[in-house]
Amino acid sequence: YERFMGDLHQVLGDQAQLFKGAGDGDAGATVVRHLSRTGWLARLFGTRLAYRRYQIEHASFALMLAPHLRCGGFDVVHIIDPPLAAHLVRLRRWLRLTFKLVFTHGGPAAVQLSPDIDHVHCLTEEAAQQMRASGVDAARVSVLPVGIWRERFLPTLSRHALRDQWGLPHDQFVALCVGAVNRHHKRIDHLIAEVAAGPSDLLLWLDGSLHPDGDVALLDLARERLGERFRHTQVPSDRVGELFCMADLLVSTAVAESFGMAVVEAMSVGMPVVVHDSPHFSTLLGDGAHRVDMAQPGALATFLRALRSGHTALRPAQDPQSAVARFAWQLLRPAYIGMYSRLCAPVAGRLNPH
């Protein structure tokens, strides 16, 4: 969520103002102080009331955002967190504001949206079909993918130099997974089990955050099952390209994704990837990816054994730049601006008049 909104803000430039919950502020980005679910509330309640803390976080963020919205004269407010949408619908009504509210459906789970949200932005046609099937009028739905900056993932050092820097043998086979450390979505527990049942010379490198809802027990499980064949990092976004260059294969065991940013970014620099065999990934990646039934226990382990025995050959994108060129932010910028412009056009029969 943060990457998408941060990149979109950069693409729009001085036409947009970014409001965020953490980090540093500047002329174009304002930090909104609020009650974070991982701050003192988490220290007070521990793992209890996790959902309640999540709701408090978004309610307090909306409340502290209200003065900015009242004074800012914004034409469009674009958000991606479902709980925040309901709060901003109410704030807009109470404060008699006229901005258009755009919600990005950025998660794999279905959401129920207020009819007062002016426009729903979906990352894939599949998600758009779900929105329309739930009752959202087709005129209020747009489909635009997440953009990527391919140049950010091109390494400045050689593969051998990077492996020396990270303390990896040059001949070590490394399967990389980039994503949140959880069970329900990224299915990291399944990934650990499959690697443990796979070839004994394979190292699993997991790069992912434990904040705010990661499962630290998964790191203990990986160390128990894999020992020295496991590493965990959380590198800054501008260093993920080093991991792409250093590893042999990117693996995602998620069976449902709203998009799949890390997979697209890896393919953009020619890295071989293996994903779930589903219509979503087929549409997203074409023939450039290996596909395995990730819902079937043992399927990934079988694939990895075949890979290491030479029965299956790695298939990197032959022309990585063209394989995912349609996701370049430079090409998507006019489409995003067009979505906002159409929403703000003073035409008869406005979607949500106020």
Least reliable range by pLDDT among 53-62, 122-131, 228-237: 53-62
Instruction: Please say whether the beta carbons of 243 and 178 come within 8 A.
Output: yes
Structure tokens at 275: 């994903």
Span 162-213, pLDDT tens digits: 999 999 999 999 999 999 999 999 999 999 999 999 999 999 999 998 876 7
pLDDT digits (tens, 9 = 90+) for 69-100: 999 889 999 999 888 999 999 999 999 999 99
Amino acid at site 261: M
Amino acid identity for residue 92 in this structure: R
Alpha helices in the chain, H assignment, sequence order: 2-12, 40-45, 50-72, 82-95, 125-133, 159-166, 188-197, 216-226, 240-246, 261-268, 279-285, 299-309, 320-323, 329-344
- What is the distance between the alpha carbons of residues 21 and 212, in angstroms, rounded to a whole number? 13
Taking all residues of the chain, what is their mean pLDDT, rounded to a whole number? 89
Spatial distance between the Cα atoms of 1 and 107, rounded to a whole number of angstroms: 9
d(CA 259, CA 122): 10
| Residue 349's pLDDT band (cuts 50, 70, 90) | very low
């974070």: which residue's tokens?
Answer: 36
- At 271-325, the pLDDT tens digits run 999 999 999 999 898 888 999 999 999 999 999 999 999 878 887 766 777 778 8
- The pLDDT value given to residue 41: 56
Residue 351 has what pLDDT?
38
Query: What's the rounded Cα separation, in Å, for the pair 352 and 117?
Result: 8
pLDDT band for 347, please (50, 70, 90 cuts).
very low
The conformation of residue 104, written as its DSSP 8-state character, comes to E
At 345, is the secondary structure helix, strand, or coil? coil
Cα angle 277, 281, 282 (rounded to 5 degrees) comes to: 80
Indicate if the pLDDT at residue 137 is higher than 70. yes
Cβ(104)–Cβ(84) under 8 Å? Answer: no
Helix axes 299-309, 188-197, angle to 10 degrees: 40
> Which token pair is 42?
């988490």
pLDDT band at 354 (very low <50, low <70, confident <90, very high): very low
Instruction: State pLDDT tens for residues 12-29.
Output: 998 899 999 887 887 789
Rg from Cα positions in the chain: 22
